[in-house]
Amino acid sequence: MGKKFYHASHFKHTLKKRSYNRYKRLEPLIKDDSLRIQSHLKPADPTLFKYWRFRRNLFSKIDSNGIYMTHELWFSVTPESIASFFANFVRACIPDAQVILDVFCGGGGNTIQFAKQFPKVFGVDFSLEHLYCTAQNAKVYEVDDRIWLKYGRWEKICAQEYFQDINVDCIFASPPWGGPNYLKKDVYDLETNLQPMGITKLLKSMLKISKNIILFLPRNSDLNQLSSVTRKLLGDKAKCKVLYVKENGHLKGVVAIWGDALVNYENGSTNNTENNKSTDDQDETDQKDIIPASFYDMDA
Ligand code: MGP
């Protein structure tokens, strides 16, 4: 492949061979196996208990005791049923898609579900620990042979035009929201709070690679900002579709969608065969108005 990707099925081996310094940084964690989750044991930090209680929603295979997580992943990993919905949605909208890019892949919650649907999935993260978790977790879900991992800052990867000559059918990202404090303000400012860059810069960087983009964002995101960034970067006629995503009746976040194939998807049911989920996407959004968001209810 020429470029420096680590194949998830031999992540440790390639890291050691090609990036020894990085491997040395990760080695203590590999040796003491401290990121491996023993499902029945509560995390040491009491602030994580609420996430641990719902751990089987994060990874249904967590009881295998083969799932790996960091402190940050407990509160930022996308619950499996939601990640599965995203993958099924893309599959329904772009049936012949081959390549998906997950920009902040974290522990692989989304990467793994995409790899269940598509032959090639790239995962990018600026945390070696997270990449290691993704690789390990992908093994549990038996999709590690379809996942290629790239270590680095997204800004730098973009500057190097790393994905420019790869035909990426869809980009997905659940960027860092800044931790559980994201709800402290009524409205989440997507320009100043989103990490590692605001929504305008992030979307701009992604549009250079693919026109089909999905972002999983805080439930209190400023929808006016989504509207204006769409207009600014894609023109007055462009559309951004926003769905509210619920799980067990509880609102988890919003998903912002760009690209004709995704936005104009009419059917309204993505046939999520595994989870028997359906989507209510009746409201296509027009960027001229405050975006009316439709609801995607995991319980529907
Ligand atoms: P939450 O709001 O912390 O939990 O995260 P919950 O159960 O809705 O809590 P409550 O406050 O309503 O009681 C909900 C979901 O949002 C998580 O499962 C993650 O998928 C996602 N999420 C939360 N945070 C803090 C982040 C984050 O910083 N980054 C990313 N990418 N996702 C996050």
Question: How confident is the model over 24-41, as pLDDT tens digits?
Answer: 999 999 999 999 999 999
Q: Which pLDDT value is given to residue 2? A: 54
Tokens of 281: 């996407």
Q: How far is the CA of 5 from the centre of ligand 1 (A)?
A: 29
Report the nearest atom of ligand 1 relative to the CA of 72. 28
Radius of gyration of the chain (CA): 18
pLDDT band at residue 248, thresholds of 50, 70 and 90? confident
**Higher per-residue confidence, 142 vs 290:** 142
pLDDT band at residue 299, thresholds of 50, 70 and 90? very low
Q: How many CB atoms lie within 10 A of CB 29?
A: 17
Three-state secondary structure call for residue 169: coil
> Residue 143: CA atoms inside 13 Å, Cβ hemisphere, count?
23
DSSP H helices, 4-123, are: 11-18, 20-32, 49-53, 55-58, 71-76, 80-93, 109-117
Tokens of 147: 């996942």
Segment 194-209 shows an average pLDDT of: 97
Report the nearest atom of ligand 1 relative to the CA of 106. 31
Question: Strands 294-297 and 170-173: what pairing?
Answer: unpaired
Share of the chain above pLDDT 70, in %: 88
pLDDT averaged over the chain? Answer: 89
For atom 19 of ligand 1, the residue with the nearest CA is: 76
C-alpha torsion 134→140→143→147, nearest 10: 20
Cβ(176) – ligand 1 distance below 6 Å: yes
Cβ(6) – ligand 1 distance below 6 Å: no
Cβ(218) – ligand 1 distance below 6 Å: no
| pTM for the predicted model, two decimal places | 0.90
pLDDT band at residue 295, thresholds of 50, 70 and 90? very low
Q: Which pLDDT value is given to residue 189? A: 97
pLDDT at 297 over 60: no
pLDDT band at residue 201, thresholds of 50, 70 and 90? very high
Cα 222 to the chain's mean position, in Å?
19
pLDDT band at residue 4, thresholds of 50, 70 and 90? confident
- Mutate which of 50, 76, 184 to test ligand 1's pocket (most atoms within 8 Å of Cβ)? 76
pLDDT at 141 over 90: yes
Per residue in 151-194, pLDDT (tens digit) is: 999 999 999 999 999 999 999 999 999 988 999 999 999 999 99
Per residue in 60-109, pLDDT (tens digit) is: 999 999 999 999 999 999 999 999 999 999 999 999 999 999 999 999 99
Q: How far is the CA of 105 from the centre of ligand 1 (A)?
A: 15
pLDDT at 282 over 70: no
pLDDT band at residue 294, thresholds of 50, 70 and 90? low
Residue 77, class by beta-carbon neighbours within 10 Å (0-12 exposed, 13-18 middle, 19+ buried)?
Answer: buried
Cβ(252) – ligand 1 distance below 6 Å: yes
